[in-house]
Amino acid sequence: MSNSQDFTVTPWEVKGEVDYDKLVREFGTQLLTEELLGRIKKHTGDIHLFLRRKIFFSHRDLDWILDRYEAGEKFFLYTGRGPSGHTHVGHLVPWIFTRHLQEKFGAELYFQMTDDEKFLHDEKMSLKESMGYTYENALDVIACGFEPGKTFIFSDVEYGKTLYKMAVEIAKHITYSTAKAVFGFEDSTNVGMIFFPCIQAVPCFLPSILKSKNMPCLIPAAIDQDPYWRGIARFVAPKLGFYKPAQIHSKFMPGLARGGKMSASDPKSAIFTVDPPEMAEEKVMSSYTGGRATVAEQRRLGGQAEICPVYHYYHFLFEEDEKELAKIYHDCKSGALLCGDCKANLAGKVRRFLTEHQRKRESARKKLDKFIIRD
Ligand code: TYM
């Protein structure tokens, strides 16, 4: 975890203006290079927008995964969700990218719902509630277009019989002092949380166990999840005879308030996939921006796109066309574009996006059984 003076990044909290270069140095990950992007392009045919825009920006052992793939060894994908509430559009970033990788590399996906983690972490959350959100969130995952038969979604609680055996194998190698150093646990932390990282490490090895052959694993996620891989999964892998899991890390889509990532704990600053589209439009219209105090000042000095969540929303999800995005940036900086117009344009795009996502989400209800695995 990183807990510097200006920002905090842990699997449970992201606060302040994140300095991604500093994070890469502290976590010891690698920045994605042009050479690596070139190697990906050989297999995918194009460079996904998230790579082009450096939204996915860092990795561990991605070059090794490509070596294995080029040598004819298939890898599987692993990602997940802590079902503490409804999905917000920031969560969709790693899932949309994972879907792209599944399609381009023909990979299976194991998707973990950590209803145990959210129950243990949040004092007010009942187990029934977090297990309920597992199913609500699964609809959003399926709506991203994953392939049935190649995508396995599971709740930790409902798939416990399979997961537990591997979790104890992992737990035996992790001392309390390691867990404390990696995750910042305190004396008041409940013992469930202290054991939990072993459960999140299990899917890195699960297909290797189920298929009785060692399989490379690639984890797409935002960089907040890295401590699980660095501190637990990659540490125990060689001790248990498995490959170390590789990762590709994204940045955080910001909230609509100033600073920090989009977070479910501040509902006005997050756009949830279940928000009625008109409500989401209102949230966009009342967003913080990088605008100046008066129209005259905005015309004279231009806006501050770099610190503006509205601009970042275009950049992450809501303007795919590079020329259009460059125009928004240029018109903002030159003072030609005022925040009200810029927000109204984004609000329309968010409405259309949600309407389409909600249609796919509803039709996912009938497909749940094709994706969920249980003991
Ligand atoms: P959770 O539910 O906090 O987050 C789910 C996924 O969304 C990413 N994420 C974001 N990405 C972009 N912008 C944001 N604002 C943003 N907020 C969250 C997270 O990095 C994550 O990829 N313990 C995990 C669940 C889990 C998991 C995994 C996640 C279990 N196994 C393997 C990734 C990979 C959790 O609570 O995620």
Could you tell me the CATH number of the domain that includes residue 271? 1.10.240.10
Task: Work out the end-to-end distance of the chain between its first and last CA atoms, rounded to an integer number of angstroms.
Answer: 33
Looking at the CA of residue 254, tell me the nearest atom of ligand 1.
Answer: 15
Residues 8, 138 within the same domain: yes
Residue where a domain terminates, one of 225, 251, 277? 251
How many A from CA of 91 to the centre of ligand 1?
6
Query: Does the beta carbon of 80 lie inside 6 Å of ligand 1?
Result: yes
Residues 129, 68 within the same domain: yes
Residue range(s) defining the domain that contains residue 273 = 267-362
**Ligand 1, atom 9, residue with closest C-alpha:** 91
Could you tell me the CATH number of the domain that includes residue 182? 3.40.50.620
Per-residue model confidence as pLDDT tens for the chain (375 residues): 565 668 899 999 888 889 999 999 999 999 999 999 999 999 999 999 999 999 999 999 999 999 999 999 999 999 999 999 999 999 999 999 999 999 999 999 999 999 999 999 999 999 999 999 999 999 999 999 999 999 999 999 999 999 999 999 999 999 999 999 999 999 999 999 999 999 999 999 999 999 999 999 999 999 999 999 999 999 999 999 999 999 999 999 999 988 777 777 778 889 999 999 999 999 999 999 999 999 999 999 999 999 999 999 999 999 999 999 999 999 999 999 999 999 999 999 999 999 999 999 999 999 999 999 999
Residues 235, 319 within the same domain: no
How many A from CA of 82 to the centre of ligand 1?
7
Pocket probe mutation, ligand 1, options 195, 223, 225, max atoms within 8 Å of Cβ: 225
- Which distant-in-sequence residues (6+ apart) come within 8 Å of 172 by Cβ? none
Residue 312 covered by a domain: yes
How many A from CA of 223 to the centre of ligand 1?
9
Assess contact for 134 and 155: CB atoms under 8 A.
Answer: yes
Residues 227, 277 within the same domain: no
Query: Does the beta carbon of 261 lie inside 6 Å of ligand 1?
Result: yes
Residues 176, 290 within the same domain: no
- Exposure pattern of 238-247 as b/e (b: 16+ CB <10 Å)? eeeebbbbbb
How many A from CA of 334 to the centre of ligand 1?
36
Residue 166 covered by a domain: yes
Q: Which class for 224: exposed (0-12), middle (13-18), buried (19 or more C-beta within 10 A)? A: buried
Residue 256 covered by a domain: no
Query: Does the beta carbon of 225 lie inside 6 Å of ligand 1?
Result: yes
Residue 368 covered by a domain: no
Query: Does the beta carbon of 247 lie inside 6 Å of ligand 1?
Result: no
Residues 231, 97 within the same domain: yes
Strand spans (E) along 97-254: 109-113, 151-155, 217-222, 246-250
Assess contact for 28 and 230: CB atoms under 8 A.
Answer: yes
Residues 128, 220 within the same domain: yes
Neighbours of 88 (CB within 10 A): 22
Query: Does the beta carbon of 90 lie inside 6 Å of ligand 1?
Result: yes
Going by the DSSP 8-state scheme, the letter that residue 187 receives in this structure is T
Strand spans (E) along 47-135: 56-60, 76-81, 109-113
Pocket probe mutation, ligand 1, options 20, 58, 224, max atoms within 8 Å of Cβ: 224
Amino acid at 324: E
Query: Does the beta carbon of 309 lie inside 6 Å of ligand 1?
Result: no
Number of domains in the chain: 2
Query: Does the beta carbon of 8 lie inside 6 Å of ligand 1?
Result: no
Residue 293 covered by a domain: yes
Residues 174, 33 within the same domain: yes
